Structure formats: C-alpha cells, structure tokens
A and B are shown apart, each in its own frame.
Chain A
Amino acid sequence: MSQVRVLVGTRKGAFILTSDEQRKDWKIDGPHFPGWEIYHITGTPADPNRLYASQSSGWFGQVMQRSDDGGKTWEVVGNEFAYEGVPGTHKWYDGSQHPWEFKRVWHLEPSLTDPDALYAGVEDAGLFHTKDGGQTWQELPGLRSVKGDLWQPGAGGMCLHTIVLSPDNPDRIFVAISAAGAFRTDDGGQTWQPVNKGLKSDFELPDATAEVGHCVHSIAMHPSRPNVLFMQKHWDVMRTDDAGESWHEISGNLPSDFGFPIAVHAHEPETIYVIPIKSDSHHFPPDGRLRVYRSRTGGHEWEALTNGLPQSNCYVNVLRNALAVDKLESCGIYFGTTGGQVYGSVDSGDTWTPLVSNLPSVLSVEAQILP
C-alpha cells in the first residue's frame, strides 16, 4: 500500500504529515527547524526520500537543508547565493534604481530525473541551480537581463516564486516573478524571453499590457500538456495554450479573481483549482467563507467546493506555494492557510477535512506518494 507524505513549510518550522493511501489518519511530525521560516520544503521525483528545505530567519539569513531519509535527519548544505558578475540594479519602490540584494530562497524545484539537481527561485528575483545536491549554487544570470531594471518589488518583496519544468523538454523552463511577470527559456536557462502577452494589469501598471511588470502569483501545468499553463495573477486567472506566447482570461464566474495559488488535477488536465481572495487590500476569502473553486472545463466555468471548509467568520489567506495535489488514483488536494490549518480532500475537492490545525502560518505545501 502506498504512503502519502505532505510537506508543510510554516513561519516557525516545517512539519511532515504522513498517512496511508486512505488518507484518513495523519501522523504529524515536527516542528523541524523550530522558530525558522520554512518558505519551501519539497521532495525530489527521482528519489522521494531526498528532501530539500529552505530555512531562513531575519536574524541569521538563509540556510539550506537536505535530507536523504525522508526528513528523519537533515544536513546543512550550501547557502551561498551570489549573483553572477556585477549584480546591477532594479526598480525600487520610489522609482529609483536599487542594487540587487539576496534575501532568501522562496521556491525549490527539483529536477525530474536527478535528485542532486534542482533550481532555486530567490528574492531579489533570480534563478539559481545546483548539480551537487545543494552544496554549491550558480546563478542563471540571463534571466535578469530581460529588462531587469524595470522589475519592481511587490508587497511581499521581489521574489522568484514559481518554477515550472517542462517534462518533454529539459531545456524549457518557466518562471514567475513578483512583480515582473512570467518568463521562459528554451535553452536551459541561458537566454530568456518574457511571456506576458495577453496579461492586463489595469490598476497596477501605467501600461496595462507592458512586456514586464505584471504581478504573477503562481503558474501550474499538467505534465501531459506542457504547452498549457494556468496562471493566478494578482487579479485575473489566465490560461495559455501555446507555452506562454499568448494568454487569455478564464476567470468566468469566480466570486473574485484575486488569489495566490493555482493547481491542476493530477489526472484531469482540464480540471483546475483556485482559492479566491476578496482583494489585494483584504487578503481574506470573500464573505468570510473559505471556498476552493474547481473548473472541470479548463476555466471559465467554476464551482465552489465548500463541504468541510469553514463557511462563516473565516479570514485566513492561502499563499502561493500552499496548494498541492497528490498522484493517487483518487486525486488528493491539500492546502495550508495563514491560520495554520492544513486541509485535505481525497475526492478531487468534493469534501474536505482538516489534517492538522493550529500550526504556525503556512507558507508552502507539497504532496508526495511513497512506494
């Protein structure tokens, strides 16, 4: 019988939740790295017991951790993230130019085939990679040359928070940056192009259709359709069918098209999930009702999933890395809230139960299936 492992990063440590494939009873292990912010903890597809965690602190900076036994023990690996060459400057809040400064690792994306290889998305926005299990990191600086002087921090900082690897082409990578937009490389990260055509930021940008500057919150892909991407933007839920060459809006009947995470069902590439938030100035669900919205039509038509979720007086947020799916036959969906709850569904979102409550504010959620 398979096991399911859910990796949860929080403001005050990491937690590892495990269950059998019934996913009814969960064992909670943690906190790992208590007191530290764990922006992301994830496992590698090539070796599920190889985990990586981004551990950071306002006092002590960035630490990187690696486990080879599924999180039972951890080893500190390399934490030097040095921008290549002269780092240059980007746009600052007041419109002036500001030097690039490393702050933390937001997102880790392991190679699909090599447990020693992974990418790290960092703040200030940049993309690094390692081929030696995290001991050393090198930047892919071509990304920042794509009008980097026009990139500007969002409210959460200028972070590279989303990395999507193309399963059919190891040289193709998509990334998303707040607030710069989406970018694609087709040569393994040497050169990049912005892929923001069709995005409209009417209230956030003086030129609503600018080539860069959009506040993309997250992007998801189903591995069977690597040219189809779904995006939760600051406002608007978007879709591309041509690998980012053009985007169109699929917000449809959502009660709000503001939100942070987006995910695709493990076995149904046209089934997608978002968690609407009232607005950029509220950061809580509309009407105090926590609702996951599912579209089985690739967008436009959405249904509210509420069974088991609080439908009154709920004012939590769900952050961009805090929604994940597992790959069991009956697809599991998991998300964590800023109120410290982790909810799970074993029936594609029809019903939900809390796996754990009262954790620190949740920053990231990932799901693994163990043989």
Chain B
Amino acid sequence: MIRVVLPAHLRTLARVNSEVELQVEGPITQRSVLDTLETAYPMLRGTIRDFATKERRPFIRFFACGQDLSDEPLDALLPAAVAAGTQPFRIVGAMAGG
C-alpha cells in the first residue's frame, strides 16, 4: 500500500484524520499516486494539481524520503521506499507566509 500524508486542510476536506493508504496499480509515480488519490477522494480534485494540465499547484510541494520531489517529472518513479510503503509520499502546503 502506498502511504500518503495530506496537509491539514486537505485532511479536513477529505474527512480523514491521518495518512491515507492507497492501492496503486502499475508503476508508482506522482501521476499514478495522485490519480488514485483523487479517485478515492474526489473532493481533492483541483486542490493539489490543475484539472486540465495536471501540473502541481504553485504552493504545493511533494516530499518523500527527505527529498523535495516537487519538480520531478510526473511520470518519474517515486523512491523505492515509497513504492514499498515503508515511507510516505508527503503532500505539503508550501511556506508562503509573510
């Protein structure tokens, strides 16, 4: 199972209290994880990435295994530890305060 950690506001929106677990088919990439997440939690559609382009929203970041994966290609494989479910894929609201 793929573990995904959501930022607090999106946990509220999705009505979950902690990280979510997803059964993701095929290669484990940003695209496949987010597609599966949005299918399981349709209220998150549009809040993480653009509806049409699938590009990450400007103030969203993707972290895993101590790395910032935000600018990695959508179809690049995520780290093996994420694919194995030992580490979570973290969706983070970027620091954007004043």
The answer on a CB contact under 8 Å between B60 and A59 is yes
The answer on a CB contact under 8 Å between A60 and B52 is no
The answer on a CB contact under 8 Å between B9 and A76 is no
The answer on a CB contact under 8 Å between B52 and A61 is no
Q: How far, in whole Å, are A80 and B94 apart by their CA atoms in the complex? A: 23
Q: How far, in whole Å, are A61 and B44 apart by their CA atoms in the complex? A: 10
Q: How far, in whole Å, are A35 and B47 apart by their CA atoms in the complex? A: 15
Q: Does B27 contact A (CB under 8 A)?
A: no
The answer on a CB contact under 8 Å between B47 and A61 is yes
Q: How far is the CB of B41 from chain A (nearest CB, A)?
A: 10
Q: How far, in whole Å, are A80 and B38 apart by their CA atoms in the complex? A: 14
The answer on a CB contact under 8 Å between A62 and B46 is yes
The answer on a CB contact under 8 Å between A61 and B46 is yes
Tally of B interface residues using CB under 8 Å:
17
Q: Which residue of B lies closest to A55 (CB)?
A: B13
The answer on a CB contact under 8 Å between B51 and A35 is no
Among A58, A76, A80, A82, contact of B13 (Cβ-Cβ < 8 Å): A76
Q: A57 and B9 in contact (CB under 8 A), knowing A80-B51, A82-B51?
A: yes
Q: Does A183 contact B (CB under 8 A)?
A: no
Q: Does B24 contact A (CB under 8 A)?
A: no
Q: How far, in whole Å, are A367 and B32 apart by their CA atoms in the complex? A: 45
B40-59: which residues lie under 8 A (CB-CB) from chain A? 43, 45-48, 51-52, 57, 59
Inside 8 A of B45's CB, which chain A residues have their CB?
Answer: 79-80
The answer on a CB contact under 8 Å between B59 and A59 is yes
Q: How far is the CB of B59 from chain A (nearest CB, A)?
A: 4
Q: Does A140 contact B (CB under 8 A)?
A: no
Q: How far, in whole Å, are A58 and B96 apart by their CA atoms in the complex? A: 9
Inside 8 A of B10's CB, which chain A residues have their CB?
Answer: 60
Inside 8 A of A79's CB, which chain B residues have their CB?
Answer: 45-47
A15-36: which residues lie under 8 A (CB-CB) from chain B? 35-36
Inside 8 A of B46's CB, which chain A residues have their CB?
Answer: 61-63, 79-80
Q: Which residue of B lies closest to A35 (CB)?
A: B9
Q: How far is the CB of B39 from chain A (nearest CB, A)?
A: 15
Q: Does B93 contact A (CB under 8 A)?
A: yes
Q: How far, in whole Å, are A80 and B44 apart by their CA atoms in the complex? A: 11
Q: How far, in whole Å, are A319 and B8 apart by their CA atoms in the complex? A: 29
The answer on a CB contact under 8 Å between A36 and B9 is yes
Other than the given A61-B46, A61-B47, A79-B46, 6 more pairs (CB < 8 A) read A57-B9, A59-B96, A60-B10, A60-B48, A60-B60, A82-B52
